[in-house]
Amino acid sequence: MYDLYAVSNHYGGYGGGHYTAYCRDGQGAWHCFDDSHVSPIDAARVQSPAAYVLFYRRRAEAAADPGASLPPPQHGKLPLLHHGAGASAVCNGPHWVPCPTIL
């Protein structure tokens, strides 16, 4: 069994647009990452027509590795971003979370 833990959203057309992400923290709360702003969101908003990429984790692996859960982000602040080698990651405390690479 798999659990959804993040969604990358795209707003706009083929030639451009805007991306946001919805991510669930280790306590199960959902957060919206929109440029430099992070805010809590209701779980009902996660399912949307703007969903572009869905991220799942095998439930058995999550149970075996509880330290991989993210702590809740500080609302209103985007955690430190790391960009390199064509990929991005969000640092939230001691954990790095891969972000989708947009080509």
Joined together, the tokens standing for residue 33 give 């990452």
Nearest CA among 37, 46, 42 for reference residue 79: 37
Per the structure, the count of domains in the chain is: 1
Instruction: Report the alpha-carbon distance of residue 12 to residue 3 in Å, rounded.
Output: 27
- Domain residues for the domain of 54 are 2-99
Tens digits of per-residue pLDDT, 61-87?
A: 766 765 555 555 555 544 444 333 333
Q: For residues 57 and 69, is the Cβ–Cβ distance under 8 A?
A: no
pLDDT of residue 58: 87
Integer-rounded Cα Rg, in Å, for the chain is 14
**What is this structure's pTM?**
0.62
- Amino acid at residue number 11: Y
Residue 45: pLDDT band by 50, 70, 90 thresholds? very high
**Proportion of the chain above pLDDT 70, given as a percent:** 59
